[in-house]
A and B are shown apart, each in its own frame.
Chain A
Amino acid sequence: DAGVIQSPRHEVTEMGQEVTLRCKPISGHDYLFWYRQTMMRGLELLIYFNNNVPIDDSGMPEDRFSAKMPNASFSTLKIQPSEPRDSAVYFCASSPDRGEQYFGPGTRLTVT
């Protein structure tokens, strides 16, 4: 398996623009997680899905952030409008049912 795939790997955008991050989980994994990593706040869980259904979105910073999982092989995290404080590395991870999570390479987002 190719592992968790994320695109794009790098994104530079201007404040106010819409940003969409994409993730393809490992086939057969029922859970999908979106994280954000910054120097100041470390690794934060934003939202996670089970069988394409959002289970816990308590970590989503505000209404500017939204996530979808239309099918078992694809998820998006959207920020609209983006702000400079959203600059971070965003990770997607997927998991079978035994706790361990497999992380993608991340998307480095810079909002200017």
Chain B
Amino acid sequence: AQSVTQLGSHVSVSEGALVLLRCNYSSSVPPYLFWYVQYPNQGLQLLLKYTSAATLVKGINGFEAEFKKSETSFHLTKPSAHMSDAAEYFCAVSQNSGGSNYKLTFGKGTLLTVNP
């Protein structure tokens, strides 16, 4: 079984401030972890993914996430927020079983607001 918890359904930051979106997961086997972003009236877009290589993963638009097994966390960060980062962000987990694809389990999402 697998699950994802995103702490904070809504995060508000000022432009230029640090962005930190929290994600904790539960998985009975080594996981694959993902962050997706959804802009209004659009589909989900992959930001970055962890697949058991480097624990610090860099994604698009300056975002990065660190896999911490001891904390079962995969928090998303960006050093300096931009107005265009305003969107909803979803953390997701799937099972890493030697390369086979499994369904993703998504968190409930965190809405990021960026204030000028």
Q: A99-B51, A99-B96 are in contact. Are A104 and B43 (CB under 8 A)?
A: yes
A interface, by DSSP: helix, strand, loop or mixed? strand
Chain A residue with minimal CB distance to B90? A43
* Given known contacts A91-B43, A99-B94, A43 and B103 CB-to-CB distance under 8 angstroms: no
Chain B interface residue count: which class? Answer: 20 to 34
- B100 close to A (CB within 8 Å): yes
Q: Quick check: B42 and A105 within 8 Å, CB to CB?
A: yes
The number of chain A residues with a CB under 8 A from chain B is 24
Question: Is A103 a contact of B94 with CB atoms below 8 Å?
Answer: no
> Does A100 have its Cβ within 8 Å of any Cβ on chain B?
yes
Provide the B20-36 mask, 1 if CB < 8 A to any CB of A, else 0.
00000000000010101
Chain B residues close to A by CB (< 8 Å): 32, 34, 36, 42-46, 49, 51, 90, 94, 96, 99-104, 106, 108-109
